[in-house]
Every structure is written in C-alpha cells, then in structure tokens.
Amino acid sequence: MAGTAAPRARTRRSGLDPARADEYRGWLRQMVLIRRFEEKAGEAYSLGKIGGFCHLYIGQEAVAVGSLAVLRSDDYITCSYREHGHALARGIPARAVMAELFGKAPGCSGGKGGSMHLIDASLGFLGGHGIVGAHIPLTTGMAFAAKYRNTDQVAVCYFGEAAVNNGAFHEALNMAALWKLPAIYICENNRYGMGTALERASAIYDISERACSYDMANEVVDGQDVLVMHAAMERAVERARKQKHPTLLEVRTYRFMGHSMSDPIHGHYRTREEVEDQRKRDPIAVWSQRLIEDGLTDQPAVKALDKEIVEEVEDAYRFAEEAPDPEPGELYTHVYANP
C-alpha cells in the first residue's frame, strides 16, 4: 500500500566506504544523541518540567541526521514543531535545546520560544513553526533571497505529510518551481497527522507525485536508512546549489511515539502490532548493525558511545534545571526592533 513507511526493497546494500568511517560514526552519534535527548525530554515532560506541547522525534532520527549532514553552515533551515532532532543535528548544543524546552534564559530562543520554536540564527536554523504548512512559503522566501543575492545557499524545509494537503504547500512549491529557486522540501511521511492516516486525508498516496504538478524534481526516500537519506539529499542539494532547481523529497519514516506527549503510543488510530512491526526498522539499530557488519565499529564501541551520550544528555538536563528563568522584564523585550 502506498504511504507505507520504509519500503524495504529500496535499502541499498553496497559496501560502505571505509574512508568515510568517521563521518558514518558521526551520524550514529547524532542519531543516538537525538534518541537519548528525546527520551529525557519525555521524562522531563512527565515530571512537569517541560510545559505545553512536546512532539518527540523518536523513530525519525535518520531523516534529520542524514539530510542535514549534507548542508553548508550558511544554508537556511526551517522545520515544523517536531524539530528537536533537527536542532541537535544542526549543532545547537543539547544544553541550549533542553534549556529552551524548560523555558529557561539560556535556551536557544531565550526561553521565549519553547519546544515548537527552537531558533538559532547563527546556524541558519530559522524555526520551529507551529502552524501546519505555514513555514513552507517562508522557506521559499529564503531561497528567493539566495537567488536575489546571487549566492549559492540553499533553503531546506521539513514538514509532515499532513501539511501537503494545505494551501501554503501548494502555493510555495509552485512559486519555487516557477522561479527556479534553490529550495528543498522534505516531507517526513510518518503516515499520520495526529490520528489521521495519510489515506484518510490525501486523495493520492504517493506524496512525491505532488511535485509533478509543478514539474519539480522528486524522489521517494527510505527515511529509516541514514545512508539512503544522505545520498538522496546530496542529489537534491547538488540540484539546488548548481542548477537552481527545487526538489520535493518524500521521506518514508515512522514515529514510534504518540503525536505529542499527551497522545498514547498507538491510540485508536493505529494498532500496537503496526507500531511493533515498524520498530523492527529502528533507524539507529539499522545503522549500527550496518557499521558493525562492515567492520567500522563494534558492539563495545556502540555501548561506550551510548554511555557517553547519556552523560551528555544528563548534563543538558542538569544545566536546564539549574538555569535561570528569563528576567521578568523580558516579557516586553523583542516585540519590536524599534517600539
């Protein structure tokens, strides 16, 4: 059935390049960091230390890690509210991300953004947006700015599969194709928008086909395999940077947790069996297995890495807990540049 996450047949089985071992191990490190970070965030949420909505990225780690690894430091990135993983993969320190989830002053948005609005302008990480689909035109605008200034930057937008039914998606992709902008639209098809399966919301099930309406390059990507994700992103970035053509990547992935912290793992809209079946293709297990098979790491090293990361996340947690709240006067700052 179309819309099913992770078409297994697409996983490529060529040998890994030993010269890239450090890079490969770096991806594993980032994915484990996101996983452990999200687990800790879930725990902190349950303890009431994180408020509001909190959408975890567990299960989708390979998408952010494999794609962001291809970008340059001056490229632009926007995300939906499910963006903790992208923020970490882009290099916002775990302390600054956790502190933002806690609403604390040293958070990457000064504690005024929260889980859904992680921003670090110095990294080109421009949010963290809470209105489904609304950041897609923003990204088109950033790609427009790159073209306007004649730079070779690219602008990358991450959004869920439910956003493609929204007018902003259509308007933004049409303009990007019309004006030949260096934009990459990454649809993380995790099969559900909250409790609504793709098939209950979209008239067509292959989201990549939407690109045909705009004569836009497109690909279906196995989002549980970080190497496949990385390779597809390399093609898209090359197309954007060199040929100034946008791309729509439909990345098939799966969210292992509920939509947000208030949603149970499977709920009424999917079965426990389905979730368990999908968990068999855990992107971290897939990748560490692969590295071990190819002799680029081993079980003890993976264990040691995990231990090191757990400590890094604990440190971020302690930092966030001890960090000060924003000063009361911060309530009225940053509304205007010139009030």
By the criterion CB under 8 A, which residues form the site for another protein? 76, 78, 107-113, 117, 119-122, 126-131, 134-142, 144-145, 147-149, 155, 167-168, 170-172, 174-175, 178, 333-339
Name every residue whose Cβ is closer than 8 Å to that of residue 296 and which is 6 or more positions away in sequence.
Answer: 16, 18, 21, 24, 25
- Residues 5-24 interacting with ligand TPP (rule: CB under 6 A): none
**Strand 192-193 versus strand 196-197 pairing type:** antiparallel
Asked if 131 touches ligand TPP (CB under 6 A), the answer is: yes
Q: Between 39 and 171, whose beta carbon lies closer to another protein?
A: 171
Asked if 90 touches ligand TPP (CB under 6 A), the answer is: no
- Segment near Mg ion (CB under 5 A), from 68-76, 87-95, 161-169, 327-335? 161-169
- Segment near Mg ion (CB under 5 A), from 132-140, 177-185, 187-195, 213-221? 187-195
73 binds, among ligand TPP, Mg ion, another protein, none (CB under 5 to 8 A by kind): none
Cβ atoms 246, 185 nearer than 8 A:
yes
Asked if 141 touches ligand TPP (CB under 6 A), the answer is: no
Determine the Cα–Cα distance for residues 67 and 80; give it in Å rounded to an integer.
16
Cβ atoms 222, 229 nearer than 8 A:
yes
Q: Between 92 and 217, whose beta carbon lies closer to another protein?
A: 92
| Closest residue to ligand TPP, based on beta-carbon distance | 160
Partners of 251 in the β-ladder: 188, 221
Determine the Cα–Cα distance for residues 114 and 261; give it in Å rounded to an integer.
15
Q: Between 182 and 223, whose beta carbon lies closer to ligand TPP?
A: 223
- Residues 245-264 interacting with ligand TPP (rule: CB under 6 A): 259
Q: Which of 186, 219, 184 is nearest to 72 (CA)?
A: 184
119 binds, among Mg ion, another protein, ligand TPP, none (CB under 5 to 8 A by kind): another protein
Instruction: Give the one residue of 178, 194, 285, 304 binding ligand TPP; rule: CB under 6 A.
Output: 194
Instruction: Give the one residue of 193, 246, 258, 283 binding ligand TPP; rule: CB under 6 A.
Output: 193
163 binds, among ligand TPP, Mg ion, another protein, none (CB under 5 to 8 A by kind): ligand TPP
Instruction: Give the one residue of 163, 177, 240, 257 binding ligand TPP; rule: CB under 6 A.
Output: 163
Name every residue whose Cβ is closer than 8 Å to that of residue 232 and which is 6 or more positions away in sequence.
Answer: 67, 219, 221, 249, 251
Q: What does the DSSP assignment read for 222-240? A: ETT-HHHHHHHHHHHHHHH
Instruction: Give the one residue of 59, 103, 160, 283 binding Mg ion; rule: CB under 5 A.
Output: 160
Q: Between 265 and 331, whose beta carbon lies closer to ligand TPP?
A: 265
Q: Which two tokens stand for residue 187?
A: 């649809």
Instruction: Give the one residue of 139, 153, 190, 224 binding ligand TPP; rule: CB under 6 A.
Output: 190
Instruction: Give the one residue of 85, 160, 258, 283 binding ligand TPP; rule: CB under 6 A.
Output: 160
Asked if 201 touches ligand TPP (CB under 6 A), the answer is: no
Q: Which of 172, 144, 168, 124 is nearest to 244 (CA)?
A: 144
Determine the Cα–Cα distance for residues 213 and 43; give it in Å rounded to an integer.
43
Shortest gap between Cβ of 6 and Mg ion (angstroms)? 14
| Order of strands, sheet of 125-128, starting from the edge strand that comes earlier in the sequence | 119-120, 125-128, 76-79, 155-160, 183-189, 247-252, 217-222
Cβ atoms 184, 246 nearer than 8 A:
yes
Chain positions contacting ligand TPP, by CB under 6 A: 80, 82, 130-132, 159-163, 190, 192-194, 259
